[in-house]
């Protein structure tokens, strides 16, 4: 229990996330005052995903996870997956952007909207937003950040400083995750620019990159790549009595466990997202060709079997149709 009860830190980061959550709450209440009760309830239920994402991101830093991530690579990979995959996906699923905009006073909100959507010219803000939200940039940036921070010459210096680790590495993890998940998860007022089949390709490509990184770190090296522990000397004040923990796990085994976590967690987040994207793709295909019975749809269980009542009703309707056709045929013969 000491691993969970001790080594909490960075209260100012926890306070910052609390302020961010309160800003979202202010905007949400402002929107709900002008909405019907049903719309307000749906918006409130959806917003809990955003709050969950903020909690996951905050706990990744203020909890003992940050302390042990500076000493063990496998703990760092747990933090990596939490900040880059779980927290952004939850945050985006809650559709936080409209509540965030409505948290600004009316005059300020109108000024922002005029600058962004000014008629007659393309605002620099819209150009930057369109660039960042383009599928190639978002998916490419996500994978580039993931690869760059696995390079030892970049990883080791950052892990020697808690400020760089939190302010640079974890921040780019979260921001790249937000841009990536905006291509997969609808989040008002944004819609994914990738088609469903494009989402499938982006997910498979990203999962492939994570798998290759995991294979390289585990099977294609016999020496540890990363150095840990330098920043722990400055964190001794977080430990009761100032005593540093004793490291008993070899660095190579630590690296291999971290690679396994990246591999397993990569599959864990990819497959549910992949199934959802395939459902969307099959739904679009059926909308274009309604009579087509696609095998992928049956595989994903998007069709259900006909009930007994529906079968009997259909059989009765077919019988009536056949009887009317026979009567018309007899009349024609006469």
**pLDDT tens column, 61-77:** 999 999 888 888 999 99
Q: What are the residue ranges spanned by the domains of the chain?
A: 2-192+219-240+247-256, 308-334
* Predicted TM-score (pTM) of this structure: 0.78
Q: Secondary structure of 30-68 in the HEC alphabet?
A: HHHCCCCHHHHHHHHHHHHHHHHHHHHHHHHHHCHHHHH
Residues paired with residue 187 on neighbouring β-strands, in sequence order: 190
* 333 vs 12, higher pLDDT: 12
Read off the tokens for 14: 């926890």
pLDDT of residue 34: 87
Give φ, ψ of 54 to 5 degrees.
Answer: -65, -40
Q: Which residues contact 249 (CB under 8 A, 6 or more apart)?
A: 72
Whose CA is closest to 274, among 184, 174, 188? 184
pLDDT in tens, 119-137: 655 667 778 888 989 999 9
Of the candidate ranges 1-10, 215-224, 275-284, the one whose mean pLDDT is the lowest: 1-10
Which pLDDT does position 118 carry in this prediction? 64
3-state secondary structure the chain: CHHHHCCCCCHHHHHHHHHHHHHHHHHHHHHHCCCCHHHHHHHHHHHHHHHHHHHHHHHHHHCHHHHHHCCCHHHHHHHHHHHHHHHHHHHHHCCCHHHHHHCCCHHHHHHHHHHHCCCCCCCHHHHHHHHHCCHHHHHHHHHHHHHHCCCHHHHHHHHCCHHHHHHHHHHHHHHHHHHHHCCCCCECCECCCCCHHHHHHHHHHHHHHHHHHHHHHHCCCCCCCCCCCCHHHHHHHHCHHHCCCCCCCCHHHHHHHHHHHHHHHHHHHHHHHHHHHHHHHHHHHHHHCCCCCCHHHHHCCCCCCCCHHHHHHHHHHHHHHHHHHHHHHHHHHC
Has residue 238 got a pLDDT over 60?
no
Most confident range, picked from 2-11, 209-218, 320-329: 209-218
How sure is the predictor about 271, in pLDDT bands with cuts at 50, 70 and 90? Answer: confident
Query: What phi and psi, each to the nearest 5 degrees, are found at residue 190?
Result: -90, 145
Note the pLDDT of residue 278: 82
**Beta-ladder partners of 190:** 187
């Amino acid at each position: 229990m000491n691993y969970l009860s001790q080594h909490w830190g960075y209260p100012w980061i926890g306070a910052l996330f609390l302020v961010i959550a309160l800003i979202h709450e202010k905007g949400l209440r402002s929107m709900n005052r002008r909405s019907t009760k049903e719309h307000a309830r749906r918006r409130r239920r959806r917003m809990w995903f955003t709050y969950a994402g903020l909690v996951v991101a905050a706990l990744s830093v203020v909890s003992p996870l940050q302390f042990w991530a500076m000493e063990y690579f496998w703990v760092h990979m747990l933090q990596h997956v939490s900040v880059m995959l779980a927290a952004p996906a939850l945050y985006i699923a809650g559709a936080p952007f409209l509540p965030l905009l409505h948290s600004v006073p009316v005059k300020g909100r109108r000024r922002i909207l005029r600058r962004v959507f000014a008629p007659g010219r393309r605002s620099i803000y819209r150009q930057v937003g369109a660039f960042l939200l383009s599928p190639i940039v978002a998916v490419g940036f996500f994978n580039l950040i993931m690869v760059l921070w696995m390079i030892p010459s970049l990883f080791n210096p950052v892990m020697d400083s808690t400020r760089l680790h939190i302010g640079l590495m974890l921040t780019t993890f979260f921001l790249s995750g937000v841009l990536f998940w905006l291509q997969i998860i609808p989040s008002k007022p944004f819609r994914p620019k990738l088609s469903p089949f494009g989402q499938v390709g982006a997910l498979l490509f990203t999962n492939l990159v994570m798998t290759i990184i995991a294979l390289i770190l585990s099977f294609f090296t016999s020496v540890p790549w990363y150095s840990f522990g330098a920043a722990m000397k400055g964190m001794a004040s977080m430990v009761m009595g100032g005593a540093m923990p004793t490291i008993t796990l070899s660095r190579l085994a630590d690296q291999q466990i971290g690679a396994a976590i990246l591999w397993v967690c990569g599959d864990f987040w990819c497959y549910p997202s992949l199934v959802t994207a395939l459902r969307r793709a099959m739904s679009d295909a059926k909308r274009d060709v309604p009579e087509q019975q696609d095998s992928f749809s049956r595989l994903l269980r998007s069709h259900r079997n006909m009930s007994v009542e529906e079968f009997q009703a259909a059989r009765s309707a077919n019988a009536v149709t056949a009887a009317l056709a026979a009567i018309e045929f007899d009349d024609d013969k006469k």
